[in-house]
Structure formats: structure tokens, C-alpha cells
Chains A and B, each alone.
Chain A
Amino acid sequence: MRHTLRRLGTPLALVAAASASSASDLTLDGQTSVQTPVGDSVQVELTGNPLLPTLVLADLGNGPVNLFGESLPLSFTFATTVVGQGATDANGSHTFPVTMPSNPALAGTFVYFLGLIVDGADPNNLDFSNGAELELVLPSTIVEANLAGESLVRYPYFQYIRAINEGDVVDVAVDPNLYPSVVGVTADIYVTAPKTQLGWDADPTLVDVSSDGADSFTFVAGSIQSNRVTVDPGSLSAAAGDGLGVGYDVVVDLNQNGILDGGDLIDGYGGEAGVYIVHDLTQPGPYTVREVLYNGGSFLSQDLYYPQNIAALGPRPLVVVSHGNGHNYQWYDHIGFHLASYGYIVMSHSNNTVPGVFSASTTTLTNTDYFLGNLATIDGGALLGLVDDSAITWIGHSRGGEGIAIAYDRLVDGTYVANNFDETNIALLSSIAPTDFLGPTQANPHGVDYHLWVGQADADVNGCANNDIAQSFHLHDRAEDLRLCTTLHGVGHGAFHDGGGSLVASGPCQVTRPETHDIMRGYLLPLVHHQILGNIPAKDYLTRQWEDIKPIGAPAGNCIVVDLTYRDSVDSGKLVIDDFQTNNAAALASSGIPVSFTVADVTEDRLDDQNTNFTHIVSDEMNGMTYGRSNDTSRGLVFSFDGADGVISYDLSAAMADVTDYTHVSLRICQGTRHPLTIAVLKDVGFTIALVDGSGVENDIQIANYGGGVEEPYQRTGFGCGTGAGWANEFETIRVRLTDFLADGSGVDLTDIDKIELRFGPSWGSAQGRLGIDDLELTTD
């Protein structure tokens, strides 16, 4: 905001008196004296007789200097600059903008302007204007910006992220092309305790909490790579108690005054901190856990875990675990103790799975109902009034995994009415290697948030195309709203519980039970913390590729391969570009926009293998896809590229062109198992995402630059699943931040995006591949 100073300076009055009859007039934003923030522009207007040459000068001194027989309000120092040159128009006006220097160190500097019109009507043919003055001030606005993250080796050279594992460095980057005010400025960069906007407004004092104090850094012109700095070497605390992530704000103090004020950049001005440091999620939380076994009657035996000090904590969310066939309700200590140590109440119950999955769903329902209805009796009433039943999580294993989906369906359909809850109490289902006996009419999560675990070495619910019952992915793709999937190479069916015995696994590079449980603990905690408690940094562990971030204690090694998918909810405000569920022609996206292809072998169809094995045959375009039965509707696209570049291009409509309301472009993508182009590579496949704006300016980013790629299928054989090696196609979600496409002054206009392109081939990543895609979206988070 500009301010106008009224200075009653005598020199101005003298100039006006000396040439009153034909004096030109000079204003800055309509005033003769203004305050303008550094980096802002001011509108200069010089008026006089029409159609005459003009000149406007600026200087740091206001004279007066006698020149051409006149006393001029300008000092004509070495700093004198011509800021405008032209002619008055037919109305006698010459108007133009002048941009002030952006260096905040210039705040307080006065700049003086003087205009000149070459006018023969003037006694000396030089019509000098009045003087005008401008005071440079600091911007009144704090600049909110993404600052914290991790440096990348390749473009876009930096990834702005929420969560950083404890002990990892925290880097800051400022793109000088996006924030020109930093160029040439030596700033102090602070990592501070987090504050809300109100907190910052009340106390803008900057106090650095990193081990090396505030970091002084001089920003330079050019590239983001030249403007990255480590602000903490890994010293920041992650001690969040029963939470996940300790937040910190990051401030670039451009005027080095130790105060957050106008012109400074801040990451974390609002309700969300700039960055979160996260502890080892595989480790137990702060609470001592009490475990209690009790029996409420036939198939009402329950194994209960809860924080011993729950009375002091208040109501806590409930997690119910429903085991699988031949399993036991006491085999989920790794889930119960872990989540209870973070404050959850976990109840694992005897599950009537042997008769079948419908019976299993009944015991999920009856046990949840019994628990909620008998809190006065269970463990002497210790949990009475302390169970938050507003957002219940159901976890089910194998038949129990299908059982929880059937149970939810029964609540939704009204075919089961519980005494103490209904479907609105159920917030999240997590199925571990579920069967699919009953298909979409009953084994259906509907719109509840749904998560799926699949072990690709599962030798029971084995995932082969020859048995619909054994294809766990079906349930995930039936989920209508928010859904997540965790696919694990080398993990067998029995690895998911802790009852000992066989891992029930087949395939190479098998993962042990302890390793599997570490993966489960490290993922389940952010899953429930985010979905149930709304924890912010937890989402990074659900949406970023495993190769990018994993819990500190997650097992390592070549055999540990984890693919994650995440699809946001409908009410997140996302823009679905193509989910392939409508407009079945490949050339028309579900959003109604045209799609063009130069990749090969394009097929849009249901994500369902057309025969009973994974053997590659040309006619089975959806080979390896096990995301639906014949009466399921999940659809996607498959295609190939072989040594030549190819593109899938989405022509955005005018209504979609402004993508600035969105944060990421996201899609799920997989390799096609046993296809010759998959076998030829047999490693991660890379590709590129490109944005093209309405002016034809484009920029592209290789997804490999973030550290990951599209995983090759698990190289498993047998089970009558055909010839060759490679198990079911496994999607993973790739997300790229839209503002990353602006890095280093690319010039792409995010307010006017014309095309989103997926580019494949030797110029864009891997030279060859057979891929499947789905759920191309622009997300809001």
C-alpha cells in the first residue's frame, strides 16, 4: 500500500511560479509525493502540450540546480537516470510505469523525478515540469512461500515437502525467478518454532532453533540450484509425543532485522507449519499399553489393547481387527501394541471365518457392537466414556479383510442394524490380502475411506488371474472415494500376522515376518493418524513414493519393494482429468476433453485380465490387470512404447486452464507383467510429465528426478499362472507439484495451461515399456 507524504518544500513552489504559463505537470501515481514498496512499480504521468517529445529523469538528490535559466528540482548527480522517453499524446499526456529496485536495503531512500517536454512555445523550448518525489519503503506484506524441502540432483533441483525424517538435513531453496526481491540480498534464514498467523502477528520476533543458528545466505540471480542452502544438519527434534511430526516454520529475513516483517519470506505463516520433522514411525509411542483378554460369549472373544493412562487422555479412537481363516484373534500384537502406544484403543476379536466371509462380516459387526455396548463391564469399566466411536477403523485380514467390506455394505444397505453404531461411525477400512468371494454387490466399501494391503508373494490369496476369489485388488477399485493401496513384493499371506508358522509365501526374495511388521507399523500409524486424526505430515508417507520417503526404521535391502497408491476424496476439490470410468473411447477423457496418442498399442478397457493366466498374448491387452471381476467396472488405459518417443496428450478445456488452485498433477501407473517390453527392461520405468500453456510455452519434468520410477512387477512364477515370470500388475501413484514446473524461470503460465502431456520413450525416460495408467487428476493437497 502506498502512502502520500505532503511536503511543503519551497523549491517546488519556485519552479511552479517561474513557468506558470506553460509548465508541464509531473505526477507519480497521481501524486507529487508518494511512498512505494521496493520492487513495486509507479505510474509516471507527464502532461503538457500535445504531440511533443518528452524526457523524464530520476535522481537521488532534489537540487535545486540552475540550468537553462531555470532552477530545477533535481541534483543531476552521477546517479541521474532517464526513466522514460517518448512523446505526449493527442491529449498532451505521456504515461508509463517505472519499476523500483527490489532490494529491501534501499528502503528509506528518496528518488526525485523531473519531466521535460521539448516545446517551442516555451521561452527556451524546454518545458520543465514540477519535481516529484518517491520514498522507497519495505513491502507491507509478508510473502508466504514454500521454502523447506530437499535438494534434487536434477531438475527441478528442489522438492518442497512437508515431512522430513529425523536426522535428515533440512534444506531451503528460493527460486530467484519467482522471487526477484531476493536477488543480490544477503538474508538470514531462520528455522523457528511454529506459530499461527495470529501468533506471528502478535510476536514477529525470529528465534532460530536449529543447531547451527540462523544461516546467512546471499541470493543470486539465475537458477534455483544456486539458491539452495542447508539450514539444519539433522538436529531438529521430532519428539511429538503421541503425535507424528514436530512442526517448524522457516523464515527468510531479507532485511536481517530479526523480525518477520514486510518483504520477508515465510514457510508456515498459516495453520500448517513450514516443515515437520518425523521420528521413527516403526517405534512404539509414549504410552504403556494394557492388554486384556475377555470373552463375551460365542465368537465374542476379544483381545483389547489401550493406553494404560487413558483416563487422563480422554476419549480415543477405536480400531477393530478381524482375523482371517485359520488365524487367531491374538495374532495381531504388532498392530495392537503399536497403535495403542500412540493412544488408540485396539480390539481384535474372534472371527467366524470358517463358514465363510458373510459369517465373518457378522462377527465384525457383532463384536464392534458388543464392545461399544459393554464398556461398563469390559476390564472393569476402565474404558467407559473413553472410547471415541465417531471414527472407527476396521482392519481385516484375508477372509476378515473381505468381511469388513461386507460388514460395511450391510450397514449401508440397511440389512444389518447394530445397536451401538451405524455406517457413519466407520471412518476407515483397511483390508489385508482380502478374498473376494461375494463380488461387487456385497464385498463393497462404497464411499468409506478404504486401504488395501497386498503381498505379492501371497500363496493363498495368490492374486493369479485364474481365481477371482484370490484377487485382492478388486476391493480397492470398488472403493468410490478416497482409497489407498500398499503392495509389497516378497510378502506372503502369513507374514501379516504374528501367530508364527508358515509365511504362506511363494516367489523370490521373500520378506520375513519381522520385516513385514516393521513395514506395517510404519505405514499403519500415518494411515490412521492422517485419516482419523487429520495429522498433516502423515500424509507424506501415504502419497510420496517409498523410494522418496519411508519410516526411519523401515527395513532396507533389495527385496524390500513397496508400491503405494493414494487417490484423494471427491470433496477435496480435485479435478479429475481422466479416470476412464466414462467416455469409453480412448480419445475422449472422462472429463470430456480430447486425448491424443502417439504411443502404441493403446487400449482403454476394464482393468481385468481377459484369460486365466499372466502369459503374454497380444490379444489380452489387459494382461496382468486384476482390479475387477467381470461385473466390476474399474477401467484404465494401457499402451506401449518401443524405442521411439510417444505422448499421451490431454487438451484441457478453457474452464480447466487455470490450474493455480491445485497443487499436484497425480496419476496411478503400473508396468504390464510379462510383456516383452517389460521383460526387456525389468527395472523401474521412467517417463516425463509436461505442461504446455496457451502461448505454447512448455516445461517438462522426468519423474525419475524425484528418485523413483514405475516399479517392475514382482518376478514370481507358478500357481498355474502361465508361462514367464511376473505377477499381477501393481499400480503406484506418481505426484508432481505443479509449481515445480515453474522452476528456473521456465515461463510456463499456470493460469493458462493448454495441455498436460505424459511423454514416454528415450527422450523422456526409459526407451521402452508397457504401461497402464488411471486416475489422472489435479489435486488440491
Chain B
Amino acid sequence: MNRIGTICIAAVAAGAFVTAGIALQGGQELDAGNTPVASQPTQTPISLVEAHPFRLLEPATHFYRAEAPSYDSGYLVVLATAPEALVPRQVAEPVLYLGDETVERVNVGHESGYLVGIVPNVDGSLDLTADPVFFGAPTLPESIDAAGARTELEAALAAGVRAAGADEVERVLGELVEVLDHQELLTTASFLVEQYSPEEVDLIGGLRVERIGR
């Protein structure tokens, strides 16, 4: 089992995560109805637990950006945050960023508090030691372009969000993952989901279903 670092990347301000006074009762499942969106998403604590660089033989499309850019490298990450921050919504939910790049979510994570994500290194500038992880304003990621992502990053930095230092990144950094394509990357990610958010049985199984036609 990999080390489970609990490095706090974002500053934890008092009352940073506003729950609107909702005390989640024992056994009550978090959902979009009983868990409002954080009023200041950037203040939601989120930490880097693992980070695995990856390379794809066949480039993939990053649908979490308006430009839908192509990429063939990046980081497969495990993030830890408050479960409430990961409650899935149909309406707009806070967009997850690493630096000025949107993060593709592999799992849901609202029960475990762990999220496995894919961070494409579209322009080769991704730097875990300099790029903080944070939640941005609620919207649809596919509506965010490069300029918009940059704006979100600047706002997060202004709000006190900071990147992990080199030492911390070295602590969480895993081995290079080289796979054929995006689907194989998802299959690889399923093992991280199984480790950190094992209750997502259907997702895990669904990512490992037999591939046909290749």
C-alpha cells in the first residue's frame, strides 16, 4: 500500500468550507440536496496523496477544456478532501484544477473523500511543485478555456492557495505509468480507486470490463 500522505496544499482558513449549518447526521448520505456548494471553493482543503506521471502511446482528448486539446502525458493523481466537496451534482459543481489545468475526475469520491484524477500536461508546463490543487468556481469544465483556467488559478493564488513544495512532491511521487491509451489509463486508475475509494464497486468493475475489438 502506498504511503498516504496528508499534505495540505491549500490554506485551511477558518470557516473555509461553509456547510450552511447542515449537520450531517450519522448515516445520512451526502447528496446534492443536503450539501450545498461551498461558497468559497478555493478555500476547500484538498491535498495531494499520490502523483504518478503517465505517458500514452495514443494521444487522448481532454474534454475538460473548451478547446478539447490533445495530450499524451500528465499525472495520474490521488487527492484527499472533505467528502462533502465531492458530492456529485447535475447542476454546476466546483471545477477541480491543478495549476492552470482542469483535472479529469475518474471516480466520484463523496463517500471516501478520495478522488483519483487525470491531469493532462497539454503544453508541457505542468509542475507539481509550483501548481496548486484547488477547487474553482462552479461551472462546466468543458466551458473553461486556457484563459479561463488561468484566471481561476490567479484567483486561487490570491485567495491563499499554494502549491506543495518539492519535498512534499517527492514524497508522493510514484512511478511512471506507460499505457496504450486513455482507456488503459482509466483501467490503471481503477486500482487507485479500489485502494482509496473501494465502495465505488460499479465504477471499478466498469473500468475493468473486457475490451473488445482490438
Question: Which of A329, A356, A362, A470 contacts B206, CB < 8 Å?
Answer: A329
Let me know if A504 and B212 touch, CB within 8 A. no
Answer yes or no: A359 CB below 8 A from chain B CBs.
yes
Chain A residues, Cβ within 8 Å of B213: 296-297, 374, 377
Chain A residues, Cβ within 8 Å of B206: 293, 301, 328-330, 350
Return the CB mask of B174-190 against A: 1 if under 8 Å, else 0. Answer: 00000001110010000
Question: Which of A298, A359, A459 contacts B32, CB < 8 Å?
Answer: A459
Let me know if A460 and B105 touch, CB within 8 A. no
Return the CB mask of B199-214 against A: 1 if under 8 Å, else 0. Answer: 0001101110111111
> Which residue of the partner chain B has the closest CB to A402?
B90
Question: Which of A298, A359, A467, A493 contacts B142, CB < 8 Å?
Answer: A359
> Which residue of the partner chain B has the closest CB to A458?
B33
Chain A residues, Cβ within 8 Å of B210: 293-295
> Which residue of the partner chain B has the closest CB to A330?
B202
Answer yes or no: B193 CB below 8 A from chain A CBs.
no
Let me know if A502 and B105 touch, CB within 8 A. no
Question: Which of A329, A330, A356 contacts B140, CB < 8 Å?
Answer: A356
Contact status of A459 and B183, CB under 8 A, knowing A330-B206, A359-B142: no
> Which residue of the partner chain A has the closest CB to B102?
A355
User: How far does the Cβ of B209 sit from chain A's closest Cβ, in whole Å?
Assistant: 4
Return the CB mask of B116-151 against A: 1 if under 8 Å, else 0. Answer: 000000000000000000000000111100000000
Answer yes or no: B104 CB below 8 A from chain A CBs.
yes
Answer yes or no: B92 CB below 8 A from chain A CBs.
yes
> Which residue of the partner chain B has the closest CB to A329?
B206
Q: Which of B90, B110, B182 has the most CB of A within 10 A?
A: B90
Bound CA span A324–B88, Å: 10
Question: Which of A328, A398, A461, A503 contacts B202, CB < 8 Å?
Answer: A328
Bound CA span A246–B84, Å: 52
Let me know if A435 and B209 touch, CB within 8 A. no
Bound CA span A433–B89, Å: 12
Let me know if A469 and B92 touch, CB within 8 A. yes
Question: Which of A296, A325, A374 contacts B90, CB < 8 Å?
Answer: A325
Contact status of A295 and B142, CB under 8 A, knowing A435-B90, A462-B33, A505-B33: no
Answer yes or no: B91 CB below 8 A from chain A CBs.
yes
Let me know if A297 and B33 touch, CB within 8 A. no
Contact status of A399 and B90, CB under 8 A, knowing A293-B209, A297-B211, A329-B206: yes
Answer yes or no: A769 CB below 8 A from chain B CBs.
no
Answer yes or no: A437 CB below 8 A from chain B CBs.
yes
Let me know if B212 and A294 touch, CB within 8 A. yes
Return the CB mask of B83-100 against A: 1 if under 8 Å, else 0. Answer: 000001111110000000
Chain A residues, Cβ within 8 Å of B29: 501-502
Question: What's the tally of chain A residues with a CB closer than 8 Å to chain B?
Answer: 50
Let me know if A356 and B181 touch, CB within 8 A. no
User: How far does the Cβ of B141 sit from chain A's closest Cβ, in whole Å?
Assistant: 5
Chain B residues, Cβ within 8 Å of A504: 31-33
Chain B interface residue bracket vs A: 35 or more
> Which residue of the partner chain A has the closest CB to B187?
A295
Answer yes or no: A506 CB below 8 A from chain B CBs.
yes
Chain A residues, Cβ within 8 Å of B104: 354-355
Question: Which of A295, A328, A354 contacts B211, CB < 8 Å?
Answer: A295
Answer yes or no: B64 CB below 8 A from chain A CBs.
yes
Answer yes or no: B40 CB below 8 A from chain A CBs.
no
Answer yes or no: B12 CB below 8 A from chain A CBs.
no
Let me know if A460 and B183 touch, CB within 8 A. no
Answer yes or no: B60 CB below 8 A from chain A CBs.
yes
Chain B residues, Cβ within 8 Å of A358: 140, 142
Let me know if A502 and B212 touch, CB within 8 A. no
Let me know if A354 and B183 touch, CB within 8 A. no
Answer yes or no: B7 CB below 8 A from chain A CBs.
no
User: How far does the Cβ of A500 sit from chain B's closest Cβ, in whole Å?
Assistant: 9
Let me know if A295 and B32 touch, CB within 8 A. no
Return the CB mask of A318-332 against B: 1 if under 8 Å, else 0. Answer: 000000111111110
Answer yes or no: B108 CB below 8 A from chain A CBs.
yes
Answer yes or no: B6 CB below 8 A from chain A CBs.
no
Let me know if A326 and B89 touch, CB within 8 A. yes
Bound CA span A300–B182, Å: 11
> Which residue of the partner chain A has the closest CB to B90?
A398
Bound CA span A709–B164, Å: 63
Chain A residues, Cβ within 8 Å of B110: 326
Answer yes or no: B19 CB below 8 A from chain A CBs.
no
Let me know if B88 and A295 touch, CB within 8 A. no
Answer yes or no: B173 CB below 8 A from chain A CBs.
no
**Considering the complex, which residues of chain A in the window 350-379 have a beta carbon less than 8 Å from any beta carbon of chain B?**
350, 352, 354-359, 362, 374, 377-378
Question: Which of A362, A461, A494 contacts B91, CB < 8 Å?
Answer: A461
Let me know if A325 and B88 touch, CB within 8 A. yes
**Considering the complex, which residues of chain B in the window 60-75 have a beta carbon less than 8 Å from any beta carbon of chain A?**
60, 63-64
Question: Which of A356, A377, A459 contacts B34, CB < 8 Å?
Answer: A459
Chain A residues, Cβ within 8 Å of B11: none
Let me know if B212 and A378 touch, CB within 8 A. yes
Bound CA span A729–B210, Å: 47
Contact status of A493 and B30, CB under 8 A, knowing A329-B206, A359-B63, A378-B212: no
Question: Which of B90, B93, B183 contacts A295, CB < 8 Å?
Answer: B183
Let me know if B186 and A298 touch, CB within 8 A. yes
Bound CA span A324–B90, Å: 7
Contact status of A355 and B141, CB under 8 A, knowing A296-B212, A301-B209, A459-B33: yes
Chain A residues, Cβ within 8 Å of B182: 297-298
Bound CA span A202–B143, Å: 67
Bound CA span A357–B203, Å: 20
Bound CA span A469–B5, Å: 38
Q: List 6 A-B contacts (CB under 8 A).
A: A325-B93, A329-B206, A331-B202, A356-B143, A493-B32, A502-B33
Known: A294-B211, A325-B89, A460-B33. 6 other contacts (CB 8 A): A294-B212, A298-B183, A301-B209, A399-B90, A459-B32, A460-B91
Q: Which residues of B contact A (CB under 8 A)?
A: 29-34, 60, 63-64, 88-93, 104-105, 108, 110, 140-143, 181-183, 186, 202-203, 205-207, 209-214
Q: Which residues of A contact B (CB under 8 A)?
A: 293-298, 300-301, 324-331, 350, 352, 354-359, 362, 374, 377-378, 398-399, 433, 435, 437, 459-462, 467, 469-470, 492-494, 499, 501-506
